[in-house]
Amino acid sequence: MSKKYFLVKDLVLSFLAGIGIGHIFSLLVSAFIIKNSYGVVVPKFSEMILGNEILAATISALICGVLGVVFYLTSNIWKKEEWSIIKKTTIYYFSTIIPTILAGTFLKWFNVNILSLLIFIGIFTLIFIAIWIIMYFIMKEEIKKINAKLKEKKV
List, as one string, the DSSP characters of the chain: --HHHHHHHHHHHHHHHHHHHHHHHHHHHIIIII-S---SS-HHHHHHTTT-HHHHHHHHHHHHHHHHHHHHHHGGGGG-TTS-HHHHHHHHHHHHHHHHHHHHHHTTSS-SSHHHHHHHHHHHHHHHHHHHHHHHHHHHHHHHHHHHHHHHHH-
Same domain, 22 and 61: yes
Of the chain, the percentage scoring pLDDT greater than 70 comes to: 97
Average pLDDT over every residue of 8-36: 87
**pLDDT score, position 57:** 94
**pLDDT score, position 133:** 96
Q: Which domain does 103 fall in, by range?
A: 3-109
Same domain, 119 and 75: no
User: Can you tell me the distance from the alpha carbon of 142 to that of 117, in angstroms, rounded to the nearest whole number?
Assistant: 37
Average pLDDT over every residue of 35-60: 87
**pLDDT score, position 30:** 74
User: Can you tell me the distance from the alpha carbon of 140 to that of 128, in angstroms, rounded to the nearest whole number?
Assistant: 18
Same domain, 64 and 115: no
Same domain, 88 and 117: no
Same domain, 73 and 118: no
**pLDDT score, position 36:** 67
Neighbours of 155 (CB within 10 A): 4
Average pLDDT over every residue of 41-53: 88
User: Can you tell me the distance from the alpha carbon of 66 to that of 99, in angstroms, rounded to the nearest whole number?
Assistant: 9
Same domain, 89 and 119: no
Contact 41, 107 (CB under 8 A): yes
Q: Where residue 42 falls among pLDDT bands split at 50, 70, 90? A: confident
Same domain, 115 and 105: no
Same domain, 141 and 96: no
**pLDDT score, position 25:** 84
Contact 88, 75 (CB under 8 A): no
Average pLDDT over every residue of 92-106: 96
Mean residue pLDDT across the chain: 92
Same domain, 97 and 22: yes
Q: Where residue 38 falls among pLDDT bands split at 50, 70, 90? A: confident
Judge whether residue 93 has pLDDT over 90: yes
Q: How many domains does one find in the chain?
A: 2
Same domain, 85 and 95: yes
pTM: predicted TM-score of the whole model, two decimal places: 0.86
User: In the listed set 72, 88, 109, which residue is the last one of a domain according to the structure?
Assistant: 109
The pLDDT tens digits of the residues spanning 139-150 come to 999 999 999 988
Q: Where residue 155 falls among pLDDT bands split at 50, 70, 90? A: low
Same domain, 64 and 75: yes
Same domain, 74 and 131: no
